[in-house]
Amino acid sequence: MQASPEVHAWLNALAQEMGVDRRALLQLLGSGGAAAVLMACNQVPVPSEAQELLGELSATTDTDQSPAQSPFFKDPEPFIKHSDTTLETRSEQMEGFITPNHLLFVRNNSVSLDVNADDWRLSIEGDAVASPQEITYRELRQMPGRTVVSYLECAGNQRAMFDLIKGQAADDTQWMTGAVGNGIWTGIPLRTVLELAGVSAEAASVLLIGMDTESPEKGWRRALPIEKALDPDTLLAYTLNGEDLPRDHGYPLRAMVPGWVGSASVKWLSHIVVSTEQFWTRNNTSSYVMIGDDYAPEGEALGKPLTTQSIKSALALPWPARLAEGSHRLHGYAHSPHGPIALVEWSADSGATWHEARVLEPQVQYSWARFEFDWDAAAGEHTLITRATDVEGNMQPDEIPFNEKGYLFNQPLPHPVHVA
């Protein structure tokens, strides 16, 4: 492209509009971020000299991407769209055992990437492997596969409840109950490639790095302790619900770390580093860390770094819900990182009396369980509360302390229901 002063100024304005520096903008153009650039173009007038470039950008965006300005590959229409990096599933669409791919929430920290699997490689290196590897997509797909049914949940799911229920707002995306979904993940155990690389007995930590260099970490990353990395259920997943991973969810490869906060399930994974030392990066020092009076700092972290999720339950109803007078069969879902759900109770009188809901099959480790109960709705304003207990005896706590970033909210939710 001709670098006239107008085009320079335009690129600078675009970069500013997108909140990235100019170098990052140019990298973005080369890594499938054209859609986001086009979207920013709506805000920044395009000089005539750059029209040609814009035409080329339009041509490089996917034909199945709707509409042209979307920073997502999937249709954002069914979702609550908090921002250009977040799509929340509507709670009334969470009745099924499996969340369909087109309804699964999206949490990006930059933009969804469009990676060509033929050019992609997975590298495994570090001071704790004997023979570093570079694996192609084709090679990976030929290795013995494994399938895990697991829920995927953002650590900030239900963050809005800190404000709504406890009156103390935590910054960042005000997720209601829809930053979670249940999926069938197929891939290979992370362990397979670690063993291929000759992981040593001294290995302590495995750092997973994504290709999204525009994310705050310049390649989203999270380290797993070696025990979790070697767990056969910790996957490098290439399909979701029987289809190749959707691009918004990390095609061609992502980590799937069952039971852990979603941030550890690194999308667009291309790089693994195995070390004898513990890794400290933004995502376990200042972000995805429980910070507050109740959490003592650990290692280089400002508080307690997040690992596992917490037990929760929710109703698959809009918030607030509107129902007609009469009998209703209500549905919900509950999940725990510690094992299957043993009991779900519900109350329509602020917890004075609790009734047992039916927990439905299938019940699979790491997956959510659906529940249902019948409620005779009389006209007026009501609050329905549910609480879950897992097979290990963990029960949703009545009260949890505040943490600055609003993670792991799991008090029983007082769901408002208007009956008329």
Point out which residues bind ligand MTE (CB under 6 A): 104-109, 152, 154, 210, 212, 215, 220, 249, 262-263, 265-268
Select the residue whose beta carbon is closest to ligand MTE and give its number.
Answer: 210
CA distance 268 to 246: 11
Which residue number, 79 or 371, has a Cβ lying nearer to ligand MTE?
Answer: 79
Q: Least CB distance from residue 32 to ligand MTE, whole Å?
A: 13
Determine contact, residues 162/212, Cβ cutoff 8 Å: no
CA distance 61 to 114: 9
Q: Least CB distance from residue 416 to ligand MTE, whole Å?
A: 26
Which residue number, 229 or 344, has a Cβ lying nearer to ligand MTE?
Answer: 229
Q: Least CB distance from residue 241 to ligand MTE, whole Å?
A: 12
Q: Least CB distance from residue 180 to ligand MTE, whole Å?
A: 9
Q: Which 8-state DSSP code applies to residue 71?
A: S
Which residue number, 73 or 105, has a Cβ lying nearer to ligand MTE?
Answer: 105
Sign of the CA dihedral running 131, 136, 140, 142:
negative
Which residue number, 66 or 109, has a Cβ lying nearer to ligand MTE?
Answer: 109
Which residue number, 389 or 403, has a Cβ lying nearer to ligand MTE?
Answer: 403
Q: 345 has which bridge partners?
A: 356, 387
CA distance 106 to 109: 10
Look up residue 219 and give its amino acid: G
CA distance 242 to 27: 32
Q: What's the token pair of residue 188?
A: 């290979």
Q: What's the token pair of residue 181?
A: 């979904």
Which residue number, 77 or 381, has a Cβ lying nearer to ligand MTE?
Answer: 77
- Which residue shows structure tokens 């694996």? 135
Which residue number, 173 or 396, has a Cβ lying nearer to ligand MTE?
Answer: 173
Q: Least CB distance from residue 74 to ligand MTE, whole Å?
A: 10
The burial class, CB within 10 Å (0-12 / 13-18 / 19+), for 378 is exposed
Which residue number, 261 or 315, has a Cβ lying nearer to ligand MTE?
Answer: 261
Which residue number, 180 or 194, has a Cβ lying nearer to ligand MTE?
Answer: 180
N-term to C-term CA, the chain = 62
CA distance 173 to 105: 13
Q: Least CB distance from residue 104 to ligand MTE, whole Å?
A: 6
Cis peptide before 5 (omega within 30 of 0): no
Which residue number, 267 or 370, has a Cβ lying nearer to ligand MTE?
Answer: 267
CA distance 334 to 343: 9
**Radius of gyration for the chain, computed over Cα atoms and rounded to the nearest angstrom:** 23
Per-residue burial over 294-309, b = 16 or more CB atoms within 10 Å of its CB, e = otherwise: ebeeeeebbbbbbbbb
Q: Least CB distance from residue 227 to ligand MTE, whole Å?
A: 21
Which residue number, 106 or 316, has a Cβ lying nearer to ligand MTE?
Answer: 106
Q: Least CB distance from residue 209 to ligand MTE, whole Å?
A: 8
Q: Least CB distance from residue 238 to ligand MTE, whole Å?
A: 13
Q: Which residues have C-beta within 8 Å of that of residue 143, sequence separation ≥ 6?
A: 188, 192
Q: Least CB distance from residue 208 to ligand MTE, whole Å?
A: 9
CA distance 384 to 94: 17
Q: Which of 85, 74, 94 is nearest to 151 (CA)?
A: 94
Q: Least CB distance from residue 163 to ligand MTE, whole Å?
A: 20
